[in-house]
Amino acid sequence: MVERETEHGRIVVETPNARREVEHSEAVHYPERTGVSGAALAAVVIGVIALAALVILFIMNREQVADQNAATQPPQTTIVGQPAQQPPIIVQQPPATQPAPVIVNNQPAAGGVASAIGSDDAAIQAAVGKKLSDDPTLSTLGITAIVLNGKVTLMGVVKTEGLKAQVERAVRSVKGVKLIDNQISVG
């Protein structure tokens, strides 16, 4: 649609012999405004920028989630066969209300040095367990003793250095103990 507007005006025309007024009318045409306004164009541009930002954030978030998933998966491990060894014998001291359990793994059926060492370890393990459970102070500490080839490894937590030393002295007095690895923590 074209808008039309007519402008009217009077013009005075003077010549050397006459003066006269002429009515002047002029038609002005305004074309129809069919284009996009500046505000609408700005809104479209802002919308496009916001959409692009959301897409970029979404892609970055997916990459972070993929990286986190890769980081939380445990690494692949390869188990390499080791020569057969005598498994350790573990005794954990429970509270004084229960007798101390002794865990002894099956000994090899064949005789010889391996069964002699295993039976010595079992005897030492039993003696250490009895020594710790018979002492009223040490039986409540929950100390774990592992015997392997005459070596006793002590683990657990005690309140003082004195208790740590007392446990070590008690284990050292057991017949057959060759070496003590005292890993008891004071805390």
The domain of 172 spans 89-186
* In a domain? residue 81: no
H helix or E strand, kind and range, residue 134? helix 113-134
Q: What is the mean pLDDT of the chain?
A: 78
Q: If we measure between CA atoms, which residue out of 30, 162, 155 comes closest to residue 91?
A: 155
* In a domain? residue 27: no
pLDDT computed for residue 40 by the predictor: 84
Residues forming a β-bridge with 182: 154
* In a domain? residue 64: no
Q: Mean pLDDT across the stretch 160-178?
A: 93
* In a domain? residue 48: no
* In a domain? residue 151: yes
Q: If we measure between CA atoms, which residue out of 181, 107, 173, 113 comes closest to residue 151?
A: 181
* In a domain? residue 36: no
Using one digit for the tens of pLDDT, what is the confidence trace for 9-58?
A: 777 778 888 888 878 777 766 666 666 678 888 899 999 999 999 999 99
Q: Give how many domains the chain has, as a whole number.
A: 1
pLDDT computed for residue 173 by the predictor: 93
Q: How far apart are CA 63 and CA 103, in angstroms?
A: 49
| Global confidence as pTM | 0.40
* In a domain? residue 113: yes
- Catalogue the E-assigned strands of 15-156: 19-30, 89-92, 144-148, 151-155
Q: Mean pLDDT across the stretch 112-139?
A: 82
* In a domain? residue 76: no
